[in-house]
A and B are shown apart, each in its own frame.
Chain A
């Protein structure tokens, strides 16, 4: 039995503690925010926040995930979207959306640490989160919006 705290609730799951956290979240707890992209820690689609820090759940063993885990589903508070989620909607920052869990969760951890990141800090902080639909420009705009920075309207006519 492994015990873990996810989105404010405690769960006991009967799995091998060496199981990557990702599969427990998805298949035992039925969460669909974190998704498999590479299983190698290279893309970020599986990102969750553990004790405030972004973690790639595909390479964290569930037995070692002892902290407070937040997934995309747990980001909204009392029915209100996280400002990042709202900014994502406002910027229409999504194409297919498969990677966006990683974009949003990594951005959340980034803003937790640095509420007013510069452009360079956003690029650097988000560097390892891949998007094959190439929503990067929009994702960066959404992060700036959520951080309360004016977003340059550069969308043309």
Chain B
């Protein structure tokens, strides 16, 4: 028996009597509620009907009913256009909306990111779910509460001022026996309340949100609702999406980057069991079989003739930085100049210079990219974990030249998505193949395909120069960054997803890409900062394609900048933490009280760690294991972070163990402290993986780091013995009623490489200026410095 398998949240909503399809009917019909399908049909049948339905109209974000449904059993479902990459944002959204609606958290559910069911909030990205998208959610929930109060006022014949709301019920203050539940007022019915707002982020009713001191659910460490099904095996994931008649596809990638497909020998696979079809278009090739393992085998066995490219697509990874330094930039930002840096350098007592390098690093999701597409009824439904489901829907419609309302994306849980991943690419592939085959098609990339071809964070080289005055103050800074980022991929762009590239499609103008300057909170009176983009010889159909990876440039830029700040502190003979505090205290920059919050955050981290004030490096140590501590500080948007790492460096082997991490973190009002701590901790360790292990390697024909042996990632044994996440509220008026909530998804990821490098310097007196700090590289640096 083949059953449609839906995301649990949607399934629950469906079984509770709120079917997405009837919901649309319900929203479309004026006044009357069309619920019959969901209420009367058994779940299986209802689900099948959902799948067959269409067209898929965009939910209207200016209607309260789009966001919130109150059910007859006095529970509520929230519909939000976001996705949760595993940081617990779904729980946070529910907390914010439950609080504003005045309903118990456990009487609510949330449905996310399914294009015809939830309003288009763009999915996830930029670590701004809580900071930005949380606001319309709060406002619409507050508006629902207001609408319910109005209805109750009429029903109870009491002015709103004489009513009190508690846990989904409204009663008369003077006579609590007179009361009415939300369900009695609108259970299973429409609110019919129009909202306003130029765009979805502005969406609002007339109600105002609660003051911080009125919030009850926000601020609680409620357990994440999605964890139990993920540990008991009941979760239905995007990898589990199945439809009747579904078949399996696997891609065949060019064996050499830039190769052209000349011919395919069908007979090499046509007699294999389960074989259905080889699909090819330009240089895109996939094999489709009845069963998954058959498709894997056939894709491996397919014989094809590829013509190698005339010129090498890229230098080897060993030569990458030399290539970058010699390349002519494809674009450069106008220098950001403050004061008179040339004059300041001329006057400086000491000038320090350093160069830094960061290789390409990848997303390399634990579960390779996957999607399932169903072409039934002349439509396409894509089941995907893509964090930008709306973009996937629009992109696929354009790619397949289908009307938007014939395409939808059902968002389901999947492996981590920290930016522009291959989930975008594979969604297009599944849709394309489903249309070719006329049957539901499931595609998943293989491990080597994912690790080699997923989008990469750009490789960087940096040149920094700093001038200190006689008192050891930083008076001049020169910063030049270069990133390989030409043709940086956008999200779900129908001309630049991999299948489109391989089919030969090109946009009129490739994206110029971007290289970044650091987030500077320090008082630096004279500075010049420049950022340049370079390209590799081959910009298309290449696995070295860049896209957003968890704060796209932050870890690289912060590694260079915060390492260099440490070098300056060392040259000034200053304690590196105090050196930073002094420069922040003197900073003119104070948006969102960032100065006070930064100082508080660094101090909190220092105190938790037990920071001993002294310059780096530590006085010489004997024995094989050297220990040291380092700090790095940065901010992203309005979230500030101070990270202290304590390392052990084995001078015989070069092995680096980060024994302890202390993370001071101020993201304003914290919605769920346990959830925030978890996101901050895991974001830090992801940074640690990039600091110690991650590096894309390649020869001149292909990526050679293709699995977990050739492309190692952080492991259990690398886990620090102790991690302290210190949530700080450094606002000068910490109890203010309008304390904003900022993001916690990426900021802690940003300073880790720098903190570890600075700790290694403190331990050994040797400065590592190229990440990652694998033991061979560390040992070579120690040897070169006579410290091994």
Contacts and interface: CB of A to CB of B under 8 A. Distances in A.
Contacts of B678: 92, 95, 138
B235 A32 contact: yes
A157 B707 CA distance: 38
B233 A156 contact: no
Contact of B232 (A20, A81, A96): A81
B223 A89 contact: yes
Given A39-B446, A123-B717, A155-B725, A137 B227 contact: no
A32 B681 contact: no
Given A38-B708, A95-B86, A156-B724, A72 B233 contact: yes
B85 interface: yes
B233 A133 contact: no
B366 A43 contact: yes
B174 interface: no
A137 B292 contact: no
Contact of B715 (A72, A81, A101, A136): A136
Interface in B352-379: 364-368
Contacts of A122: 716
Contact of B682 (A27, A129, A133): A133
A127 B685 contact: no
Contacts of A118: none
Interface centre among A31, A119, A132 (most CB of B within 10 A): A132
21 contacts: A37-B368, A37-B447, A42-B707, A75-B233, A94-B230, A95-B86, A95-B682, A96-B414, A96-B416, A99-B415, A130-B366, A133-B86, A133-B682, A134-B686, A152-B722, A154-B724, A156-B662, A156-B663, A156-B724, A157-B608, A157-B727
A76 B229 CA distance: 12
A100 interface: yes
Interface in B667-706: 674-675, 677-679, 681-686, 688-689
A84 B226 CA distance: 17
A132 B684 CA distance: 12
A94 B239 CA distance: 18
Interface residues of A, number: 64
B233 A32 contact: yes
A32 B237 CA distance: 8
A123 B717 CA distance: 5
Interface centre among A26, A101, A133 (most CB of B within 10 A): A133
A20 B90 CA distance: 35
A6 to B, nearest CB: 12
Contacts of B446: 39
Contacts of B725: 155-156
Interface string A120-149: 001110111111111111111000000000
Contacts of B63: none
A73 interface: yes
Given A92-B227, A95-B679, A136-B718, 18 more contacts: A27-B291, A42-B708, A45-B366, A75-B232, A76-B232, A89-B228, A92-B674, A96-B414, A96-B415, A97-B413, A98-B415, A98-B416, A123-B719, A126-B716, A132-B686, A133-B86, A137-B720, A137-B723
Contact of B273 (A16, A93, A94, A119): A16
Nearest to B660: A154
A106 B405 CA distance: 45
Contact of B367 (A30, A33, A36, A73): A36
A85 B232 contact: yes
Contacts of B228: 89
Report the 5 A-B pairs with minimum CB-CB distance, sorted nearest first: A96-B86, A134-B685, A97-B230, A95-B86, A73-B233
A89 B223 CA distance: 8
A98 B233 contact: no
A148 B728 CA distance: 32
Contacts of B367: 35-37, 45, 98
A72 B234 CA distance: 9
Given A35-B367, A39-B446, A71 B233 contact: yes
A100 B230 contact: yes
Contacts of A72: 231-233
B501 interface: no
A4 B533 CA distance: 57
Interface string B228-259: 10111111110110100000000000000000
Interface in B45-89: 85-87
A132 to B, nearest CB: 4
A96 B663 CA distance: 22
A22 B239 CA distance: 13
Interface string B269-291: 00001000000000000000001
A50 B228 CA distance: 24
A40 B366 contact: no
A92 B223 contact: yes
B224 interface: yes
Contacts of B161: none
Given A95-B678, A98-B415, A136 B708 contact: no
Interface string A95-118: 111111100100000000000000
Given A38-B708, A97-B227, A155-B677, A132 B364 contact: yes
Interface string B332-368: 0000000000000000000000000000000011111
A153 B263 CA distance: 62
A99 B447 CA distance: 14
B293 A19 contact: yes
Interface residues of B, number: 73
A132 B223 contact: no
A143 B678 CA distance: 17
Interface string B570-606: 0000000000000000000000000000000000100
Contact of B708 (A15, A20, A43, A119): A43
A35 B237 contact: yes
Interface in B421-446: 444, 446
Interface string A47-76: 000000000000000000000000111011
B310 interface: no
A116 B223 CA distance: 27
Interface centre among B688, B689, B719 (most CB of A within 10 A): B719
Nearest to B604: A157
B160 interface: no
B366 A132 contact: yes
Given A39-B446, A97-B86, A89 B231 contact: yes
B108 interface: no
Contacts of B523: none
B726 interface: yes
Contacts of A155: 677, 724-725
A81 B724 CA distance: 29
A56 B728 CA distance: 43
Contact of B688 (A81, A127, A134, A154): A134
Contact of B296 (A33, A39, A152): A39
Interface string B394-422: 00000000000000000001111100000
B714 interface: yes
Contacts of A133: 86, 366, 416, 682, 686
B784 interface: no
B391 to A, nearest CB: 20
A89 B227 contact: yes
A96 B84 CA distance: 8
B713 interface: yes
A45 B364 CA distance: 14
B326 interface: no
A39 B675 CA distance: 32
Nearest to B681: A137
Given A92-B227, A100-B231, A157-B727, A130 B715 contact: yes
A88 B231 contact: yes
A97 B226 contact: yes
B366 A98 contact: yes
A111 B332 CA distance: 57
A33 B233 contact: yes
A137 B230 contact: no
A132 B291 contact: no
